Amino acid sequence: MGSEIPDILSAEFAADPYPAYRVLRDEAPLYHHEAMQSYVVSRYEDVERVFKDQVFTTANYNWQLEPVHGKTILQLSGREHSVRRALVAPAFRGSELEQKFLPVIEKNASELIDGFRTAGTVDLVAQFATRFPIGVIVDMLGLDKADHDRFQKWYTSIIAFLGNLTQDPDVTEAGLRTKEEFADYMIPIIRDRRSHLGDDLLSTLVTAEIDGEVMSDEDVKSFCSLLLAAGGETTDKALASMFALLLQHPDQLQAVREDRSLIDRAFAEALRFHPPVHMIMREPSADVEIAGGVIPAGSTVTALIGAANRDERRYKDPDSFDIFREDLNVTSAFSAAANHLAFALGRHFCVGALLAKSEVEVATNMLLDAMPHMELEEGFEPGEKGVFTRGPAELRVKFTPA
């Protein structure tokens, strides 16, 4: 045994979790974190198993998310889960995505770029990444984009509630308030949409039948709340992280600029290297042997995606960002056959992965076209913020307008 076991709740960890992840993988691949009241796993093979083996249930979301969203598909299992998931899945893949929603993605990206097209400088986080994915999902649902600031405040407080590892009472209270505010906002819109159907995702949800019954207003509201939170903050951080990494590796940025088919590679490698979601929890329904120990039934397990994605047992030279690496499968990177863990795996594998991929492809192409030369502003060092979800807080870029 070498160094002490690092504390996930420490300031050092928040500043840079990656060295701590290595110590955990090597010296404490299973340990119990007292303050978090959770067992923690960090090696790729263990995190993968936690996502795939159904003994690890998602009952943890009963306390981790239900108080802010209401009940959502994340908590469900078996047929109930697959039937509800199937309601939204078509909108996020294949022809429905391409024909109906690709134009929405393009419009949102180009409107935002118009806001700084000639400026020569931009903060890609504040002026693009935090606005783009939420704009897309709001348009997909057929809601009012003028309410953007409210949506953003709501999803930020929901994600903060989810990642409230220290149980900060202010964070809890803001999350609970969001549930009320979101319901007050959404329920009248849902009722109205039932009698004014359109071509949007909300109309699909209000008319969908499950076992002969339509979803209640409350059910639809919870689903929308999940879509805003799951599709907003994650894609925002993913896009900003990818640009930060490319700007720090100008040769790789140049390669992507010259061959746009490399955008998927860059996105997949950024998801491995700096995943937006660093940890996901589960609750085993029986005692489970894993990583050399036993996790008792009913306890909470924290699966460290951020650590697993840097496991040297899985990737060569895991701490270097290399879009050309051969041990990351790009073809399957946005499906449940992925060999990185940023979207989890198994039954709850991110239903929005292909939407996120389309968003990043469109946005990256448009941003590179609008900025024939781009570099980090002088003296600006990109950093990452967050422990549960993590990404750049700002990304100041200098560019030559097209």
Closest approach, Cβ 206 to ligand HEM, in A, equals: 17
Is 348 a binding residue for ligand HEM by CB under 6 A? The answer is yes
Residue 87 dihedral angles phi and psi, to the nearest 5°: -70, -40
Nearer to ligand HEM, 186 or 226 (CB): 226
- Residue at token pair 């990494």: 245
Distance of CA 238 to the CA centre of its chain: 7
Closest approach, Cβ 394 to ligand HEM, in A, equals: 19
Triad 387, 388, 394: Cα angle to 5°? 60
Is 304 a binding residue for ligand HEM by CB under 6 A? The answer is no
Structure tokens at 188: 């009248």
Amino acid identity of residue 13, one-letter, is F
Is 276 a binding residue for ligand HEM by CB under 6 A? The answer is yes
Nearer to ligand HEM, 226 or 399 (CB): 226
3-state secondary structure of 385: strand
Rg of the chain over Cα atoms, rounded to whole angstroms, equals 21
Is 134 a binding residue for ligand HEM by CB under 6 A? The answer is no
Is 350 a binding residue for ligand HEM by CB under 6 A? The answer is yes
Quick count: other Cβ atoms within 10 Å of Cβ 148? 15
Return the sign of the alpha-carbon dihedral for residues 373, 375, 377, 378.
negative
β-pairing, 56-57 vs 209-210, is: unpaired
Burial class (CB in 10 A: 0-12, 13-18, 19+), 214: middle
**Span interacting with ligand HEM, options 178-186, 209-217, 224-232, 306-314, rule CB under 6 A:** 224-232
Q: Give the span between the Cα atoms of 382 and 240, in whole angstroms.
A: 10
Q: Which helix (H) or strand (E) holds 370?
A: helix 353-370
Is 226 a binding residue for ligand HEM by CB under 6 A? The answer is yes
- Binding footprint of ligand HEM, residue count (CB under 6 A): 24
Q: 64 to 103, contacts with ligand HEM by CB under 6 A?
A: 73-74, 85
Which residues pair with residue 396 across a beta bridge? 123
Is 302 a binding residue for ligand HEM by CB under 6 A? The answer is no
Burial class (CB in 10 A: 0-12, 13-18, 19+), 292: exposed
Among 42, 235, 241, 252, binds ligand HEM (CB under 6 A): 235
Closest approach, Cβ 333 to ligand HEM, in A, equals: 11
Among 238, 279, 290, 368, binds ligand HEM (CB under 6 A): 238
Closest-CB residue for ligand HEM?
352
**Span interacting with ligand HEM, options 21-29, 33-41, 208-216, 225-233, rule CB under 6 A:** 225-233
Among 205, 280, 338, 397, binds ligand HEM (CB under 6 A): 280
Is 344 a binding residue for ligand HEM by CB under 6 A? The answer is yes
Task: Provide the binding-site residues for ligand HEM, judged by CB under 6 A.
Answer: 58, 73-74, 85, 137, 226-227, 230-231, 234-235, 238, 276-277, 280, 342-344, 348, 350-352, 355-356
